[in-house]
C-alpha cells in the first residue's frame, strides 16, 4: 500500500533477540517440562505483515528432537486501536478443535512483560509457503511461478477454507463482542469509527464523514465470525493447499460478508493476469454455492471496507511520519488520494477530491 521500502522499515524488530531467547528458553523449559532444551536463532518472517512482532525459531529438546515454534510479541506502538495480544491467542485456542480450518496450535500466553520484554504467546510453526505482500504475490513468487492448474487449486481451496470458517458457530467467539451496539456489525462499525478518530490524521480524510453517515443509515445487522484480514498472504500453503490460516488482527463478529469485501478490495490488480486466479464474481459465486448463503449486503461491506482501509492508512501514515520513515507531505498526499478515497468516491458516487479518479471494484453487488 505504501511501497516495499515502507513496509520493510515498519517490520523492523523492536525487541532484543538475546533477551527474548533467554526468556523463551526459561518459559518453554517450564511449559514443556524440559530444562535441557535450547532455543535456536530467532528469525522474523519476510514479505508480509506489519502490525506485529513475530519471531520464528526452533527448539532442540534434551532428547535431541527438534520442534518449530513461533513467538508473537505485543507491539509497543500498535497499529490498531485497543490492541489485545491475548485476544489473538484466544482466537487460535478457540479454533484449535475446528478440523475443517487449519490453524497453528498454541502452547500458551504470557502476560508478564518481564519474561521477554513484552507480553507474548507461542504457537506451533507450520512449514510451508506464504504469498508475499512486498513484492506482491501476484507479481512474483511461487504463485506466479505456478501452473494455471496449480493456481486454480490454490485459489479454490482457499475459498473453500474461507467458506468452512464461515460455518463455525459464532457462540464460541462471544469474547469478541464489545457491547457497543446490539450486534456484531454495529460493534465493528463503532470500532472503526473510533479508530479513525484515534489515528488523528493531520488533516481530515476526504469523504470519510459522508461515508460514515451513509454506513450508519444503511447498516445491516448480523453477528457472525469475520476473519477480518482475509487475504492470501495470511495463509500458509503446502503443495498449493492451505495448511494454516493466520492473523486475527482484524477479527470481529461483523460476519462473512466483511471478509468477502476485504478479499475483493485487497486482491492485487495484477492478479487478473494470472490464469487460475478467479475473478471477483467467480469468488462470490463459489462462496455462495459452498455456504448456501447470499452476499446480499456486499455493497455495504465494500463501502465499509474502504472506510476501514482509510482508518488503517491514517494510523499507518502517522506512524511512518512519527518514526521519520516518510515525509509528512508525502503521507498527507497518500492519505488524501489513496485507494481508500478512490473506493469511497466510486462506491457511493461521491465527488472526489481534485486529481482523484473514483474506483469501483469489478464485481456485481447482486448475483
Sequence-distant (6+) residues with CB within 8 A of 198 are 81, 315
Assign domain 142-348 to a CATH class: alpha beta
Is the per-residue pLDDT at 8 higher than 50?
Answer: no
Interval 245-286: pLDDT, tens = 999 999 999 999 999 999 999 999 999 999 999 999 999 999
- Tell me if the domain spanning 4-124 has CATH number 3.30.200.20: yes
Mean pLDDT of 18-25: 96
Give me the pLDDT at residue 52, please.
73
Give me the pLDDT at residue 13, please.
53
Sequence-distant (6+) residues with CB within 8 A of 342 are 352, 356, 357, 358, 359
Mean pLDDT of 317-333: 92
Interval 46-68: pLDDT, tens = 755 566 789 999 999 999 999 99
Alpha carbons 265 and 305: distance in angstroms, whole number:
7
Interval 236-247: pLDDT, tens = 999 999 999 999
Interval 121-165: pLDDT, tens = 999 999 999 999 989 999 999 999 999 999 999 999 999 999 999
List the domain boundaries for the chain: 4-124, 142-348
Interval 176-218: pLDDT, tens = 999 999 999 999 999 999 999 999 888 899 999 999 999 999 9
Question: What pTM was computed for the model?
Answer: 0.94
Which helix (H) or strand (E) covers residue 110, if one does? strand 106-110
Residue 252 β-bridge partners:
226
On whether the CB atoms of residues 4 and 135 are closer than 8 A, the answer is yes
Alpha carbons 321 and 243: distance in angstroms, whole number:
37
Alpha carbons 329 and 321: distance in angstroms, whole number:
9
Residue 39 β-bridge partners:
59
Give me the pLDDT at residue 76, please.
87
Termini Cα distance of the chain? 30
Burial of 349 (0-12, 13-18, 19+ CB in 10 A): exposed
SS3 content of the chain, % helix, strand, coil (to 5): 45, 10, 45
- Nearest 5°: the CA angle 79, 284, 194 is 25
Give me the pLDDT at residue 47, please.
52
On whether the CB atoms of residues 258 and 187 are closer than 8 A, the answer is no
Place of cell 518514526: 323
Amino acid at each position: 500500500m505504501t511501497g516495499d521500502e515502507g513496509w520493510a522499515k515498519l517490520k523492523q524488530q523492536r525487541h532484543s533477540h538475546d533477551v527474548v531467547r533467554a526468556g523463551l528458553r526459561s518459559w518453554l523449559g517450564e511449559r514443556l517440562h524440559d530444562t535441557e532444551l535450547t532455543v535456536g536463532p530467532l528469525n522474523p518472517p519476510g514479505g508480509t505483515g506489519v502490525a506485529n512482532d513475530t519471531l520464528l525459531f526452533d527448539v532442540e529438546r534434551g532428547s535431541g528432537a527438534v520442534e518449530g515454534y513461533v513467538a508473537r510479541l505485543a507491539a509497543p506502538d500498535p497499529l490498531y486501536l485497543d490492541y489485545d495480544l491475548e485476544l489473538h491467542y484466544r482466537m487460535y485456542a478457540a479454533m484449535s478443535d475446528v478440523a475443517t480450518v487449519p490453524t497453528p496450535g498454541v502452547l500458551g500466553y504470557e502476560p508478564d512483560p518481564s519474561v521477554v520484554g513484552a507480553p507474548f504467546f507461542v504457537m506451533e510453526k507450520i512449514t510451508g509457503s506464504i504469498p508475499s505482500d512486498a513484492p506482491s504475490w501476484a507479481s512474483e513468487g511461487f504463485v506466479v511461478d505456478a501452473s494455471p492448474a496449480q493456481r486454480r487449486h490454490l485459489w479454490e481451496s482457499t475459498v473453500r477454507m474461507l467458506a468452512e470458517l464461515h460455518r463455525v458457530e459464532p457462540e464460541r467467539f462471544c469474547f469478541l463482542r464489545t457491547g457497543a451496539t446490539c450486534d456484531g456489525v454495529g460493534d465493528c462499525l463503532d470500532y472503526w469509527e473510533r479508530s479513525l478518530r484515534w489515528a488523528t490524521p493531520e488533516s481530515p480524510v476526504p469523504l470519510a464523514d459522508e461515508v460514515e453517515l451513509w454506513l450508519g443509515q444503511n447498516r445491516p445487522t448480523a453477528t457472525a465470525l469475520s476473519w477480518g484480514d482475509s487475504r492470501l498472504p495470511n495463509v500458509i500453503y503446502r503443495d498449493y493447499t492451505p495448511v494454516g490460516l493466520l492473523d486475527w488482527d482484524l477479527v470481529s463478529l461483523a460476519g462473512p460478508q466483511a471478509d468477502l469485501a476485504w478479499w475483493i478490495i485487497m486482491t492485487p490488480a495484477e492478479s487478473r493476469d494470472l490464469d487460475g486466479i478467479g475473478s471477483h464474481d467467480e469468488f462470490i459465486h463459489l462462496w455462495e454455492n459452498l455456504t448456501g448463503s447470499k452476499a446480499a449486503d456486499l455493497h455495504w461491506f465494500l463501502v465499509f471496507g474502504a472506510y476501514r482501509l482509510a482508518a488503517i492508512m491514517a494510523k499507518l501514515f502517522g506512524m511512518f511520519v512519527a518514526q521519520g520513515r516518510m515525509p509528512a507531505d508525502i503521507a498527507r498526499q497518500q492519505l488524501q488520494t489513496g485507494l481508500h478515497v478512490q473506493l469511497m468516491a466510486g462506491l457511493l458516487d461521491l465527488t472526489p477530491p481534485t486529481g482523484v479518479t473514483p474506483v469501483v471494484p469489478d464485481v456485481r453487488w447482486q448475483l
